Chain A
Amino acid sequence: MSERKFETQTIHGVGLGLRSSHYQEVFTTKPDVPWFELLSDNYMGDGGLPLVRAEKIREDYPITLHGVGMSLGSADPLNLEYLTRLKALTSRLEPVYISDHLAWVSADGKYTHDLLPLPYTEATLRHISDRINQAQDFLGQTLLIENPSSYLTFNNTEMTECEFIRGMVNATDCNLLIDVNNIYVSAVNHDFDPYTYLAEIPTDKVKEIHLAGYEKMEGYLFDTHGYQVHAPVWDLYRAALQKFGPVPTLIEWDTDIPNFATLRGEAHKAELQMKEVA
């Protein structure tokens, strides 16, 4: 394995979600980006160019791994083949963090490849907490769990999302990846105060923040990750920095991916906020 510039187990500043269309520019220009986040599900194969590229990135930058495939909220058994592959990837790339979502992805062994909402009940809290514990034990690493954006609530809801998250943290000692855009999207969609939400998140558990752009639809906001970060999300991000401190922050862009300069422009805006709040 090639020598890595960064053996550090911490990250700082504003990183970028790395997408395949930007690899060549990163390899060529070696931009001054403090860290990259890779979508772990794209590197689960046994070889090929994706892993070669990931290794090459890791030579020059610290990375985190972010996935959707754990399906932590599903009633299906945990997919041990997936976890085994993720563990192998972790050994290979040595990410600072591994993260997944407060969501379910599969039902009866059939995968939707999307993040689906859970009813916030005592029963589902026990269920997902058991599975996070199993996954953490298997991987030998504390996970970061990301708050979802959602477009519906359930009739049998017994607690707020924040109460659910606090219960999950208490039961698993997991860390949190707070997606500020997701908070805002859900706040609009479900008519709650996003600042109250932020205030209820356990500060010491937040290890990473995500920023992304939503799309305004007829009657709701849709979390497309296909736009620049919107003004209300920047405002909420500022409040998040004031509460959590200068937590490593990621610009996430998954659809209609722009040129690399645009991504760096968004990162620069976040860096300015981080400096101002410090």
Chain B
Amino acid sequence: MDKDAIELAAFQKAFYEGIFNPTSDSIQLACQTIQSTEAISAKDRLAIYRGSILGGMTTALTGIYPVCEKLVGENYFTNMVAGYLKQYPSGSPDLGNYGEHLSAYIATFVPAKDLVYLADVVQLEWLWHKAFNAPDIKKNKQHTKPVNELAHISEQNHSNIKFSINSSARLLESPYPINRIWEVNQSSFEGYPSVNLDEGDVKLIIWRNSSYDMCIDILTNDEYLFLSAISEDRLFGDIAEMELATSVAELLPRCLQMGLIDGFTLIEDSV
């Protein structure tokens, strides 16, 4: 970089630090280049930008995590994510990519430690957001055959099949009934919004169906293990040997019918 570019980079880095890590030193450095006027000091002018930037990013997180915000309240949410904004910089121009690590952040956020389910609810909301915006077809699955061609595959080749999970689908398990917590906090929910945490653990699949409707479905333990194995790109021959209470002969048609499995490849195809 030439001298001008180095100076510009240093100025912008100082400005960024003055916004996200506002210590007296970082603010002083950022304000060195900013004009003060009688009406507004350089420090207050920088603060206008701080309010705008942090406010905008907090609003974006509120859009992705409305249930979390509803559970803890607007002020609590704003204060809680303030640390996240500082600790986890946004690395993408797409604001929709920001917020991935909020669940991990909340899991270590001491003031919310009594809300034992909160991090998992937040993870559910993130996966909902990613499923909503997921590609229609996985990039590496462009040669996948539709499931209606399964009938043309000879039985001896069945063990060489790799099934494809719906490109939007995300699997999630939690020791808490997070699907119920999510459900009773939707604006469309009618009834008394009560959830008994003793209802226990859940295994979920969050996905978008072919009509672009969003779904959060409860899976049995076997369905979860079966779909996890498929999402790990394992061969059907290996999956068929898994120790499951429900046979794959029952699991597969159920998942096909729901649209959770929407394609397949033969390993010969991918060689």
A residues with a Cβ closer than 8 A to B are 41-42, 44-50, 52, 68-71, 74-76, 79, 82, 104-114, 116, 119, 123-124, 126-127, 151-156, 219-220, 222, 255
Most chain B CB within 10 A, of A70, A74, A112, A255, is at A112
**Within the assembled complex, what's the spacing in Å between the Cα atoms of A70 and B135?**
22
Of B11-19, B65-73, B230-238, the one with at least 4 CB within 8 A of chain A = B11-19
Contacts A44-B94, A155-B34; A110 near B89 (Cβ below 8 A): yes
Residues B106-141 near A (CB distance < 8 A) = 132-137, 139
Contacts A113-B90, A152-B46; A49 near B56 (Cβ below 8 A): no
Contacts of B4 in A (CB 8 A): 123-124, 126-127
Contacts of A42 in B (CB 8 A): 96
Contacts of A82 in B (CB 8 A): 93-94
Of B47-55, B153-161, B219-227, the one with at least 4 CB within 8 A of chain A = B47-55
Contacts of B168 in A (CB 8 A): 48
Contacts A46-B135, A48-B208, A111-B92; A154 near B33 (Cβ below 8 A): yes
Contacts of A47 in B (CB 8 A): 133-137, 167
A-B pairs with beta carbons under 8 Å apart, 28 shown: A41-B94, A45-B96, A46-B134, A47-B167, A48-B133, A49-B212, A52-B212, A68-B93, A70-B93, A79-B93, A107-B9, A109-B91, A110-B16, A113-B57, A116-B49, A119-B11, A124-B8, A127-B5, A127-B8, A151-B40, A152-B45, A152-B48, A153-B34, A154-B33, A155-B32, A155-B33, A220-B39, A255-B59
Considering the complex of A and B, which 5 residue pairs feature the smallest CB-CB distances, nearest first?
A69-B93, A46-B135, A47-B136, A75-B9, A123-B4
B residues with a Cβ closer than 8 A to A are 1, 4-5, 7-9, 11-13, 15-16, 19-20, 32-35, 39-40, 42, 45-46, 48-49, 52-53, 56-57, 59-60, 89-96, 98, 132-137, 139, 167-168, 208, 212
Contact of B91 among A45, A111, A127 (CB under 8 A): A111
Q: Do the beta carbons of B53 and A152 come within 8 Å of each other? A: no
**Within the assembled complex, what's the spacing in Å between the Cα atoms of A259 and B12?**
38
Q: Do the beta carbons of A219 and B40 come within 8 Å of each other? A: yes
Contact of B48 among A46, A79, A151 (CB under 8 A): A151
Separation in Å of the B84 CB from the closest CB of chain A? Answer: 14
**Within the assembled complex, what's the spacing in Å between the Cα atoms of A47 and B132?**
9
Contact of B16 among A41, A112, A113 (CB under 8 A): A112
**Within the assembled complex, what's the spacing in Å between the Cα atoms of A42 and B45?**
29
Contacts A47-B136, A152-B42, A152-B45; A107 near B7 (Cβ below 8 A): no
Q: Do the beta carbons of B96 and A48 come within 8 Å of each other? A: no
Q: Do the beta carbons of A111 and B90 come within 8 Å of each other? A: yes
Q: Do the beta carbons of A219 and B13 come within 8 Å of each other? A: no
The residue in chain B whose Cβ has the minimal distance to the Cβ of A154 is: B33
